[in-house]
């Protein structure tokens, strides 16, 4: 009897352990499935400074629209992830990425070596250059070098700000900084500065849509190096960066990128 009872209880314990192990494996699988589902349902938060038309601006419903928004939306659809845009002022926009408040920045951001030290960039999605704006009728400005003794308006922290610093010196009082490019151009309209320097897309768009201001643009391909915009993610976020790059490649391959480009800038030259 002792032997039989011992065998019986040994059998019961063995079955309990087997069932427990099966239940644990089943639970692990359910947990893994739940985690994968949560990851798939995650909404990627995109920060954009919506004061930089035509790349990003607010519509009547206070929603972020523009070239960058359209490209990012198309890229997300191809990359298989959901996005939500939040209007984010340029000054401090990079901090929102570092702090995890934004997952991606889509805001006409030029890829530079300095910025690449603290964030990762996608493949380029737009080619840009700096453009000079002056009042119509100005006769003593033909190139960037002619601005050496002039008052120049720029947007704080942009590549336009950087190139002007190299020409005049970082602390030169003739550099007038503004929180947005439209404000810098408005200062030029009002006669507060002699010129404004900024990315070609936004400067050309402003001048085109405000012909009454009498502001004209000048190109200097010798002084200004070509620039490339990229979407920025937090350093090391390879999973999201791979999805974005996959989406960029897809929209360029199927022609949807060209359709978006034409909508805002016309046919490529």
**Longest distance between any two alpha carbons in the chain, whole Å:** 115
**In this model, does residue 115 exceed pLDDT 90?**
yes
Measured distance CA(128)–CA(225) in Å, rounded: 9
Let me know whether 103 and 121 are in one domain.
yes
CA 143 to each of CA 134, 218, 224: distance values in angstroms, whole numbers, following the listed order: 11, 7, 10
Residues 45 and 121 both lie in one domain: yes
> Does 99 have pLDDT greater than 80?
yes
Q: How far apart are CA 217 and CA 199, in angstroms?
A: 11
Same domain, 149 and 72: no
Query: 18 pLDDT exceeds 90?
Result: no
pLDDT band at 41 (very low <50, low <70, confident <90, very high): confident
Residue 25 lies in a domain: no
CATH for 185 = 3.40.190.10
Can you tell me which residue has the tokens 């959901």?
82
Which pLDDT belongs to residue 109? 97
* Enclosing domain of residue 261: 41-127+227-265
**Stretch 117-128: mean pLDDT, rounded?**
97
Q: In this model, does residue 75 exceed pLDDT 80?
A: yes
H or E element in which residue 51 lies: strand 51-52
- The span from the first CA to the last CA of the chain, in angstroms, equals 96
Residue 36's pLDDT is 44
> Alpha helix (H) ranges present in 99-137?
113-116
Are 55 and 185 contained in the same domain? Answer: no
pLDDT for 215 equals 95
What is the predicted pLDDT for the residue at 267?
82
Tell me the residue length of the chain: 269
Assigned domain for 123 exists: yes
- 221 token code pair: 């391909």
Tens digits of residue pLDDT in 64-74: 999 999 999 99
Question: What 3-state class would DSSP assign to 49?
Answer: coil
What is the distance between the alpha carbons of residues 231 and 97, in angstroms, rounded to a whole number? 12
Q: How many domains does the chain have?
A: 2
Mean pLDDT, the chain, rounded, equals 89
Which residues are CB-neighbours of 36 under 8 A, at least 6 positions away? none
Residue 32 lies in a domain: no
């Amino acid at each position: 009897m002792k032997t039989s009872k011992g065998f019986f209880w040994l059998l019961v314990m063995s079955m309990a352990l087997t069932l427990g192990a099966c239940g644990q494996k089943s639970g692990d699988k359910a947990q893994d499935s739940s985690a994968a589902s949560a990851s798939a349902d995650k909404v990627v938060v995109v920060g954009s400074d919506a004061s930089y038309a035509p790349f990003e601006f607010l519509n009547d419903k206070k929603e972020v629209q523009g070239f960058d928004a359209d490209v990012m939306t198309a890229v997300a659809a191809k990359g298989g992830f959901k996005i939500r845009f939040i209007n984010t002022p340029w000054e401090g926009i990079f901090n929102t990425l570092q702090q995890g408040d934004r997952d991606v920045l889509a805001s006409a951001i030029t890829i530079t070596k300095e910025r690449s030290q603290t964030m990762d960039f996608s493949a380029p999605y737009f080619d840009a250059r700096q453009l000079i704006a002056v009042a119509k009728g100005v006769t003593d400005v033909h190139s960037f070098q002619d601005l050496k003794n002039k008052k120049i308006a720029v947007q704080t922290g942009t590549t336009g700000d950087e190139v002007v610093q190299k020409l005049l010196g970082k602390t030169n009082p003739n550099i007038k900084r503004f929180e947005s490019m439209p404000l810098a151009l408005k200062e030029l309209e009002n006669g507060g500065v002699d010129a404004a320097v900024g990315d070609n897309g936004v400067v050309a768009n402003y001048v085109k849509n405000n012909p009454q201001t009498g502001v004209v643009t000048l190109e200097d391909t010798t002084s200004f190096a070509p620039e490339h915009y990229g979407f920025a993610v937090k350093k090391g976020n390879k999973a999201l960066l791979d999805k974005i790059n996959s989406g960029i490649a897809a929209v360029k391959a199927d022609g949807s990128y060209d359709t978006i480009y034409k909508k805002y800038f016309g046919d490529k030259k």
